[in-house]
Amino acid sequence: MTNQKRTSRWSKRNSPKRAFDALMTAIRSNIMNSLSDRLHVPLRYKRAFGEFPNLRNPKTFNEKICYRKLHPQPVFSILSDKIEARAYVKHTIGERFLIPHYGIAKELSPDLFEQLPNSFVMKASHGSGFNLLVDDKRNTSFAELYNLSQQWLSQNFYTVCRENQYKPIEPRLIFEKMLLDEDKKVPKDYKFHCFSAPDKEPVIYIEVSHDRFINYKVDFFDLDWKPVQVRSEHLNSNIDLEKPRTLDEAISHAKALAAGFSYVRVDFYLIGDDIYFGEMTFTPMAGLMKFRSRQIDEEWGALFND
């Protein structure tokens, strides 16, 4: 039997199954999208963990984050907006920690496209995942960027996991300088999980994300730069990562930005002697973070009160 015939027969056998699976996925998605927030949030949690969250008296980190999704503080919306947060950063730690940008707009125009340099990053203000790295503008077109940006701007990111702080954010575009590390690669993300409880010293865990666009890996460290086990072992990079020379300064700035919040994740890029602010996140992974164990989920949950 020829390869062509075998492929044809395999396709005929599996095509109906693929179509059925796609149909069922679409039906489940439509059902979930039609649910109220108070039903959607616990059902998404149950799909991830096999049990419903305790949202009346949340104890674990994920339960408390899910509670936040339903009951965000008004300030969460301002600081979750990637454009509005820049003013808070400028006021709190200084303008030099902001990534330089080439423009902010409600819509990409031909004039703005022409003014952009050859390399830049296009981001949207109102959610996660709305970013595009443009290495060379000559390899793309205005139409391609415009269509993609319109897809982003037409979405209310709140609807994905019902993170209510994103609901009122005005969708806008920002075009930032392309940051590269000393090896001319996309820099690592240094995410500072900042916990604060009354009458206690702040607790910070540092999450380092590697190759987030290619082969995502993540490591966690304490303030002494000692590795701590938080996520699943298969996500570890197994790299002996050297302590960044600006880490202590970045910790100080993360504390300053996190002041007044019982929990927030503050992201920086640490490149040589430079520190650049990334974003502030109040509901990381939408309360669906897969910890290495239930115990760690509970330990992180005990570090903050809301």
Distance CA(14)–CA(102), nearest Å, equals 49
Q: For residue 283, is pLDDT > 50?
A: yes
- What is the per-residue pLDDT across 20-69, written as a single tens digit (0 to 9) for each? 667 666 667 777 788 999 999 999 999 999 999 999 999 999 999 999 99
Range of the structural domain that residue 112 is part of:
100-178
Residue 263, in any domain of the structure: no
Query: What is the rounded CA–CA span in Å between residue 42 and residue 51?
Result: 9
Buried-state track 17-36, b at ≥16 Cβ within 10 A, e below 16: eeeeeeeeeeeeeeeeeeee
d(CA 28, CA 77) in angstroms, rounded, equals 29
Average pLDDT over residues 184-198: 94
The answer to whether the CB of 243 falls within 8 A of the CB of 224 is no
User: Residue range 123-127: average pLDDT?
Assistant: 98
For the segment 143-165, the average pLDDT, to the nearest whole number, is: 97
Residue 166 lies in a domain: yes
What does the alpha-carbon distance between residue 105 and residue 35 come to, in Å, rounded to a whole number?
33
Number of domains observed in the structure of the chain? 1
Does some domain include residue 61? no
d(CA 115, CA 299): 49
Backbone angles phi, psi at 28, to 5 degrees: -60, -40
Distance between CA atoms of residues 286 and 242, nearest Å:
30
Percent share of the chain, pLDDT over 90: 80
Asked, for residue 277, whether it belongs to a domain, the answer is no
Closest CA to 265 of 209, 187, 201: 209
pTM score above 0.85: yes
Distance from C-alpha of 69 to C-alpha of 57, rounded to nearest angstrom: 15
**Residue 153 within a domain:** yes
pLDDT grade for 10, boundaries at 50, 70 and 90: very low
- Residue 96 tokens, joined: 């030099």
Is residue 205 assigned to a domain? no
Q: Is the residue at 149 inside a domain?
A: yes
The pLDDT of 258-286, averaged and rounded, is 97
Assigned domain for 116 exists: yes
Residue 203 phi, psi dihedral angles, 5° rounding: -115, 130
